[in-house]
Amino acid sequence: MGVVNVTPDSFSDGGQHADEASAIAHGRRLLAEGADILDVGGESTRPGATRPLVEEELGRVVPVISALAGDGAVVSVDTMRHEVAAAALAAGATIVNDVSGGLADPGILRVAADAGATYVAMHWRAHADHMADFATYDGPGGVVAAVRDELAQRVEAALAAGIAPERLVLDPGLGFAKRGRHNWELLADLGPLQALGHPLLVGASRKSFLGRLLADADGTPRAVDEREDATTALSVVLAQAGVWGVRVHHVRSTRDALRVLAALETAREGRADG
């Protein structure tokens, strides 16, 4: 899943593709590099971000989705609002990627259900401007058990709204109301989330926990645009763990790495067959 941020303030590429023409061009580049899905978003969810007006978000994403879907791309809309989801689906999107899992706007579940769209429910506790206040996981089983249980509740809500089980994808929500250690604990133990019975989408690309992992000797985190190697390495590990998809900013390096992995797996299968 290639990221197309049509925003002025996203943490990794805010402003680079904020206008319609550059966002469409960027989406086409990601497709050429091997993206299976283009995830178009018009609201930044970086820590501390404030929300745009509904009209602003609609104006950012709908023309871009229309153009990219018109090119034949599989398009996802990254939104928490039912109005935006409905307009995006009408413009040609087929996936609703809701970082709130329906908590910010429960009406989005019915919109996805009525359209027969694939729905991605992410683990979420609060909006970006105060989500750090909710990064506490002190119960039995820690963050893995909490995310599993809270995602299970979102599964129930999605199914109750009419979303088909085979069209439901879950996301552990790395970095959303989670500290670095929480992200690593989730990545190290995806099994309980996979046991919920739905595919997993993981978005780790360029996130701050990778920047801290790669910090300089003086503790300065690695710059956002210099975290691609770590993102690619993690994508390979996630593919080996059986996730459904990885959400990345730089598609080519991830696609190349996954091709290497696929070639090795094919060779192993051939040796076993022989």
Indicate which residues carry an active-site annotation: 207, 247
Q: What is the DSSP letter of 19?
A: S
End-to-end, the C-alpha distance of the chain in Å comes to 35
Q: Are 249 and 4 in contact (CB under 8 A)?
A: no
Angle, nearest 10°, between helix axes 251-273 and 20-33? 20
- What is residue 92's three-state secondary structure? coil
Residue 207 Cα to chain centre, angstroms: 12
Place of tokens 């820690």: 142
Question: Which residues 6+ apart lie within 8 Å of 65 measured at CB?
Answer: 40, 75, 77, 88, 91, 92, 93
Q: Exposed, middle or buried by CB within 10 Å (0-12, 13-18, 19+), for 267?
A: exposed
Task: Give the separation between CA 231 and CA 243, rounded to whole angstroms.
Answer: 15
Place of tokens 């598609």: 251
Q: Exposed, middle or buried by CB within 10 Å (0-12, 13-18, 19+), for 132?
A: middle
Name the percent of the chain in helix, strand, coil, to the closest 5: 50, 10, 40
